[in-house]
Amino acid sequence: MSESTAPQNPVGDAGETSRRFAGRTVLMSGGSRGIGLAIALQLAAGGANIALLAKTATAHPSLEGTVYTAAEQIRAAGAKALPIVGDVRNDEDVQGAVDATVAEFGGIDIVVNNASAIDLSTTDAVSMKRYDLMQDINARGTFLLSKLSLDALRASDNAHILTLSPPLNLDPQWAGANLAYTMAKYGMSLTTLGLAEELRGDGIAVNSLWPATIINTAAIRNLPGGEKIIAGARQDTIVSDAAAAILARPAAECTGNFFIDEDVLREEGISDFTGYSMGAPEDRLVPDMFL
């Protein structure tokens, strides 16, 4: 990955933002690598305690990182970390992660629904095993982790649920191209839409965040033609910077949104995104799906 020239504190002065998550506790699904880990590290740098629920007890043959190596990086950033080996598809694992996080840190202030599976096969080509995997991790996993965290979130004075999922764009091109994946990702987004309204009276912010462009992640690189696509990508730090900006906002004033990373940073006074690029000029970046 090329070195970023993006501002080190893109959403404010370092003195104002460096400890803005001090005392806050985050429970994230996934987070061993990629965008999830970038968000975890950004929040850790702001002083948050980070609990990660992930299956990656051991390294994947073609993917870097485990829940334990992610925890090491979080601790190196000066924060406390709780690595939890578990499967977001399993009710007992998720309940155990919530209980362990509350026991370790005294509560939960932020839930990040990051875990996601991707298969862009057409309806003819996708196996029902892969279909079920995407539904179980993306839609059901998001719903389950959010549901089981609610009691803890209600005890927080600035509770947030942030889900990495797209706006509910009903242009048929997306469902027509990748129906199984679109259904699974939109299940995550429907959870945002519904919970934001359901929990409005509880003061829990529920939002989604999606990148404007393709992001340099192992998931994209491992797709057919992925290395070529990555040439037009941005680094994952643009998403983590946007996530931190959202999660620092007052929950009562920030709910029910489908944020795009660029738009969030513009609201924070950032307009030059060239430092996030993997090398392509701005007009050659590859837009992400669903936009």
> With contact defined as beta carbons under 8 Å apart, do 117 and 180 qualify?
no
Paired sense of beta strands 110-113 and 160-163, if any: parallel
CA–CA dist 8, 206 (Å, integer): 27
| pLDDT attached to residue 8 | 42
223-241 as b/e: b if 16+ CB within 10 A: eeebeeebebbbbbbbbbb
67: tokens are: 């829940």
- Those residues of the chain that have pLDDT short of 50 are 1-10, 12-16
Residue with tokens 């939109």: 186
CA–CA dist 122, 136 (Å, integer): 19
| pLDDT attached to residue 2 | 33
Instruction: Examine the residue annotation and report whether 131 is marked as an active-site residue of this protein.
Output: no
| pLDDT attached to residue 17 | 55
| pLDDT attached to residue 1 | 31
pLDDT tens, residue by residue, 85-103: 999 999 999 999 999 999 9
CA–CA dist 79, 52 (Å, integer): 13
| pLDDT attached to residue 227 | 82
Instruction: Please identify which of the residues 68, 131, 181, 276 carries the catalytic annotation.
Output: 181
pTM given for the model: 0.93
